[in-house]
Structure 1
């Protein structure tokens, strides 16, 4: 019995005071060599088609001057999706359910966008603070609103991803803890609901990774 509902998100597994749960975020490197020698399969062809379609969408968001920059955001999409799906496995730590992980992804990206934009496209960045057609009286207010919206972007990206991962896992944990107290007939209903929730969480894992990468691409396109 868990002492705390959120204990399933605690990185408590450790050896010599080194947390081992965070190593789940780098397990993808074990599968990379496999792609170079394995024969093409349906799953690899499906992944290739998915990456190709995402590449086309990201190129549109980045604009005509992207020059292959979408590879960064495609890699970001793959990293987040792998961690989200891996976290659905039993006894595997979900790295993307922690702000330490999500902020580490969103904050450096946002900082690089802002530095690049303000250094190389200063007038363009100032123009973004005042939407086209804004009345003169509302210009100071719009500048304040746009500035605040720009400053909270890394936080909203990080919190959106972490909150969606936590919500689904908490629901699965809450339902799973009630299994010992149910009869056999209700237990079968619980197992069915858990399977359906797991399918829903799999879809959420893919969607949230795409949303994070797409919004990051959109923010990068605004500074060009």
Structure 2
């Protein structure tokens, strides 16, 4: 999620500030390989279609900068924002705290309680949300002594370890949180499948 956020930021910064450096590199490349470049201040005319009235309304620089450079980056940003909107990023970021990094020794209880409150309000009663906080505190203590609970690399591993160690009964609310989060890949895969099918049908119709 940090990589996705960084990618969004870099693409947006490149869209706003990257044109000048890009066109400078293109000019150097063309000069080095003796490739002719159009006069960027001249009026743009299409080489693929018959001249149209609007061809005379923009310069080559405007066409390459706005219609190609900016438009392409906008499409990439739109795709990322569609697949990883702010809610999805927050949800996945909060859920990732259930899988401990080596430098951490405890689950971030506040993050998990916030995740449940924001995204699974109908799956937990108010009393269960209070109990979940106590279960997480106990789990953090036991996890230090039990490598079967702490030595996990994925949420699926955590879910499996809770079952094999019979801790899913003791920490049944934590087990419920993990199982709810594990439904995400199914939803994501379904969405991607629909998106791919729509693209295939569109290509076929064309």
Q: Which category of TM-score, normalised to the shorter sequence, fits these structures? A: 0.3 to 0.5
Give 1 or 2 for the bigger CA radius of gyration: 2
Normalising by structure 1, we get a TM-score of 0.32
